[in-house]
Chains A and B, each alone.
Chain A
């Protein structure tokens, strides 16, 4: 990833696509967008509206996290009975059944990780504005961590959708997705979007003495 390099008065921008370094010629003008002269990729010192988008996604994810946990994610219907499973209920059942390891795994994947992501993103977005100097390296590592973890967040959704698609034995047994699964998927997507929207370069932005003009102004 390329970033902005502030060399005296000149500001240089690295292309995120091809790596070509260009000189920022627009300065502060928000009405202008610079494209890489070689590959045409958009150039910006930091992603535009990064914090706004991150915040929006975090809020949306946090809101949807409530129905994701309270509503059933899966409905199993068999000849015997019909059951609805919520995330926490499923974990509880696993725990009661003695499958503690599995319960812990599911808990981490379904409950802990989304909460962690939302929390960490909120923390990152918050510190960018309030405590830009605070432990930049650790924050950067946190960001990398949640970015990596994010790839696996859809695991639950995949499992349920696969079950719903394969377990179709007519009246004997069938699995269908519940409203909670939709919420959960939305939470995962929104956290992914939030992660993607957050520009880690903001972590390394100079202290308020020399704020990055765009984001600083927008957030002001």
Chain B
């Protein structure tokens, strides 16, 4: 392309050779070619495509948008409009659109835009809660929210009735829908160190957890919900007993000190355990929401059922120090009841202070004996049976259960004495006659012994003993030099004896000693003498006449 400058004359067409002036009237003619057929309507495809694209985008975004729900929370702590997500199983299913104070100013309304796929969450039994970091004895949860901020957790409902306004939970539910397991209800005296999330043990194996508790403010009743995971819910039978396994169960009673613990975790964090009472037939599995009693410890949990208690009133004329409410009542060593109250009374006539002990006796603990007794009483009540027993000599007696701690218990025993009858008071309590306790009998005797012991003149005895010992000591001191002397003598004697023996040994025992030699010669001489005597005796036997005549002359030796 040639350069165009303002001064350069325009080149006429068809004269590429060089510049040529163009006449004013002669404007160059353009080259004319056939126009390509241009389909005009094609231009209008652009807006159509745009409409299609925009429509598809919008439709998609509308399709991805689910229903809006409003959740009511007590506080919007950590919840931010446009940021806080709604998650189900850690999958984002929606987002908080707005957070606003509700009209009553008591709660916060959080509007959540759910995704299309989460439209089924807007049903009436869905629950929402704000997930924040929580550190408890049961563990740490929601740690991720420390960085990411809170989010709204969801438990999907299964209802088909849709709903758009919810009341959010303040804490995450401890059982999510669809989690296999069963919920049971426990009634408890107190919570102990249990808390939501505390484990439930069976044979020291964690099989569930506490999922909630409510203290009924009207009835002053504590009920706990526990969740036992599948498949262990089968282990919870109708006669299962639950007990609080928290901490260390230190029991100091008439039987002494007993320590009972579950696992270390439950000692620290609390927990409960259940088991079937021993030697009972396997009961059917407990249905969901069965109500059980939570016993304070394993022993009371696994004890046979006590049944209806028979109230008993006993009046003791002695100190009941060491008898605490809860102390046992023994019948020949079998624990059949509990002391309820111990109260001092005043007997104006005698000017004495008898002690009234109210107790409960559980006849069911007698087992088959009770049935036999009831049969004897022709079906009369337990109280009547008790009255009959009293008539035949049953008495209450305070006994020492533990000499170290001085704990007392009430023993029912047949004690010989004047017959008494047991009335039934206006409060329905059986008036149980009492006998002086063994301890109260023992006490004066012991006092007497102590008195006698204290009369013994230990001081004088000690003084005399000391004098005696001192004189003995002196005598021994005097004895000592003589004894040493005597010992030296003995030593000398012994050494001379030893010398004597040695010389004896040398002079006598040695074969070369003169004694030995002389003895030998003497013996030989003696031998010869003996032989001569034998010869003489032989000769005399043959020639007795020789005694008279003497030995004849020797016969002449024959000459040959």
- B14 lies within 8 A of A37 (CB): yes
CB–CB B30/A34 < 8 A = yes
Stretch from A11-19, A123-131, A136-144, A202-210 that touches the partner: A11-19
Query: For residue B31, which residues in chain A have a CB less than 8 angstroms away from its CB?
Result: 34-37, 40
**Pick from B33, B60, B82: contact of A35, CB under 8 Å:** B33
Question: Are B10 and A190 closer than 8 Å at their CB atoms?
Answer: no
Interchain CA distance A71-B85 in the complex, whole Å = 18
Interface presence of B535 (CB below 8 A): no
Could you tell me the distance in whole angstroms from the C-beta of B377 to the nearest C-beta in chain A? 78
Measured in the bound complex, the distance between the Cα atoms of B14 and A188 in whole Å is: 43
Of B30, B36, B54, the residue contacting A43 (CB under 8 A) is B30
Q: Report the Cα distance A50→B54, complex, angstroms.
A: 24
Q: Is A166 in contact with chain B by the CB < 8 A criterion? A: no
A192 touches B (CB below 8 Å):
no
* Residue from B30, B51, B147 in contact with A37 in the complex, judged by beta carbons closer than 8 Å: B30
Judged by a CB distance under 8 angstroms, whether A179 is at the interface is yes
B54 contacts A64, C-beta separation under 8 Å: yes
Query: Is A175 positioned at the interface, with any CB of B under 8 Å from its CB?
Result: no
Which bucket holds chain B's interface residue count?
35 or more
Q: Does B49 contact A (CB under 8 A)?
A: yes
Closest Cβ of chain B to A61, distance in Å, is: 7
The answer to whether B11 has its CB under 8 Å from any CB of chain A is yes
| A49:B1 contact, CB within 8 angstroms | no
Closest Cβ of chain A to B30, distance in Å, is 4
CB of A183 within 8 A of CB of B54, answer yes
- In the assembled complex, B29 has its CB within 8 A of some CB on chain A: yes
Within 8 Å of chain A (Cβ to Cβ): is B343?
no
Nearest chain A CB to B521 CB, angstrom units: 131
Rounded to whole Å, the gap between the CB of B340 and the closest CB of chain A is 61
Q: How many residues of A contact B (CB 8 A)?
A: 50
Asked whether, in the complex, the Cβ of B147 is within 8 Å of the Cβ of A79, the reply is yes
> Is residue B477 within 8 Å, beta carbon to beta carbon, of the partner chain?
no
Distance of A21 Cα from B49 Cα, bound (Å) = 39
In the complex, B217 has a CB within 8 A of chain A: no
Contact with B along A174-187 (1 / 0, CB 8 A): 00000100010010
Compute how far the CA of A66 lies from the CA of B35 in the bound complex, rounded to whole angstroms: 38
Shortest Cβ gap from B502 to chain A (Å): 110
User: Which B residues are CB-close (under 8 A) to A89?
Assistant: 82
B40 within 8 A of A: yes
A33 touches B33 (CB 8 A): yes
Q: Is A168 an interface residue (CB 8 A)?
A: no
| Cβ–Cβ < 8 Å partners of B54 in chain A | 63-64, 66-67, 183
- Which of A25, A39, A67 has a CB less than 8 Å from the CB of B1? A39
Chain B residues near A12: list those with CB within 8 A.
27
Interface residues of B in 1-58 (CB under 8 A from A): 1, 4, 10-11, 13-14, 27-36, 38, 40, 43-44, 46-47, 49-51, 53-54, 57-58
A24–B28 Cα gap in the complex (Å)?
9
The reply to whether B30 and A35 form a contact with Cβ atoms under 8 Å apart is yes
Query: Is A220 located at the chain interface by the 8 A CB criterion?
Result: no
The answer to whether B83 and A56 touch across the interface, beta carbons within 8 angstroms, is no
Closest to B52 in A: A63
Q: Is B40 touching A56 in the complex (CB atoms < 8 A)? A: no
A52 to B47, CA, bound (A): 11
Asked if A52 contacts B40 (CB within 8 A), the reply is yes
Residues of A near B58 (CB, < 8 A) are 66-67, 70-71
Q: Is the CB of B30 within 8 A of A60?
A: no
The answer to whether A80 touches B148 (Cβ under 8 A) is yes
Contact residue among A18, A21, A25, A190 (Cβ-Cβ distance under 8 Å from B50): A190
Q: Is the CB of A38 within 8 A of B13?
A: yes
Chief secondary structure at chain B's binding surface: mixed
Partner of A22, one of B27, B33, B83, B148: B27
- The reply on A74 being an interface residue by CB < 8 A is no
Binary interface encoding of chain A residues 24-64 relative to chain B, with 1 for a CB under 8 A from any of its CBs, else 0? 11100011111111111001000011001100110111011
B149 at interface by CB-CB < 8 Å: yes
Complex CA gap A109/B504 in Å reads 147
Q: Are A18 and B1 touching (Cβ within 8 A)?
A: yes
Contact of B148 among A13, A20, A81 (CB under 8 A): A81
List the B residue with the shortest CB-CB distance to A38: B11
- For A81, the chain B residues whose CB sits under 8 A away are 83, 85, 148-149
Interface centre among B34, B43, B49, B147, by most chain A C-beta atoms within 10 angstroms, is B43
B319 within 8 Å of A (CB atoms) = no
- Residues from chain B with a CB closer than 8 A to the CB of A23 are 27-30
Chain A residues, CB < 8 A from B57: 67, 71, 179, 183
Instruction: Answer yes or no: A6 CB below 8 A from chain B CBs.
Output: no
The answer to whether B61 and A70 touch across the interface, beta carbons within 8 angstroms, is: yes
A39 contact set on B, CB distance < 8 A: 1
Which of B4, B28, B53, B149 interacts with A186 by CB under 8 Å? B53
Task: Say if the beta carbon of B191 comes within 8 Å of chain A.
Answer: no
The answer to whether A59 and B27 have CB atoms under 8 Å apart is no
Chain B residues 88-107 with CB under 8 Å of chain A are 92
CA distance A13 to B29 in the complex (A): 10
- Check if A57 sits within 8 Å of B46, measured CB to CB: yes
Across the interface, A61 reaches (CB within 8 A) one of B13, B29, B50, namely B50
| Bound CA–CA A59/B58 (angstroms) | 17
Residues of B within 8 A of A22 (CB): 27-30
Chain B residues within 8 Å of A82, by CB: 85, 92
- Identify the interface centre among B30, B54, B149: most chain A CB within 10 Å of its CB: B30
The residue from B4, B30, B35, B83 contacting A13, defined by CB atoms under 8 A apart: B30
In the bound complex, residues from chain A placing their C-beta under 8 Å from that of B53 are 64, 67, 183, 186
Q: Nearest-CB distance from A11 to chain B (Å)?
A: 10
Question: Could you tell me which residues of chain B, from 60 to 74, have a CB within 8 Å of some CB in chain A?
Answer: 60-61
- In the assembled complex, the Cα of A18 lies from the Cα of B57 at a distance in Å of 45
Beyond A23-B27, A32-B32: 12 further Cβ-contacts under 8 Å?
A10-B27, A20-B10, A25-B30, A34-B30, A35-B33, A43-B30, A48-B38, A60-B46, A63-B51, A66-B54, A81-B85, A81-B148
Residues on A lying within 8 angstroms of B by beta carbon are 10, 12-13, 18-26, 30-40, 43, 48-49, 52-53, 56-57, 59-61, 63-64, 66-67, 70-71, 79-83, 89, 179, 183, 186, 190, 218
- 4 closest pairs, A vs B, by CB? A37-B13, A60-B50, A34-B30, A59-B47
Residue ranges of B at the interface with A (Cβ–Cβ < 8 Å): 1, 4, 10-11, 13-14, 27-36, 38, 40, 43-44, 46-47, 49-51, 53-54, 57-58, 60-61, 82-83, 85, 92, 147-149
Q: Can you list 24 A-B contacts with CB-CB less than 8 angstroms, sorted by A residue number?
A: A18-B4, A20-B10, A21-B10, A21-B27, A23-B28, A23-B30, A25-B32, A30-B35, A32-B35, A33-B33, A34-B32, A37-B28, A38-B13, A61-B50, A64-B53, A64-B54, A66-B54, A67-B53, A80-B148, A80-B149, A81-B149, A179-B60, A183-B54, A186-B50
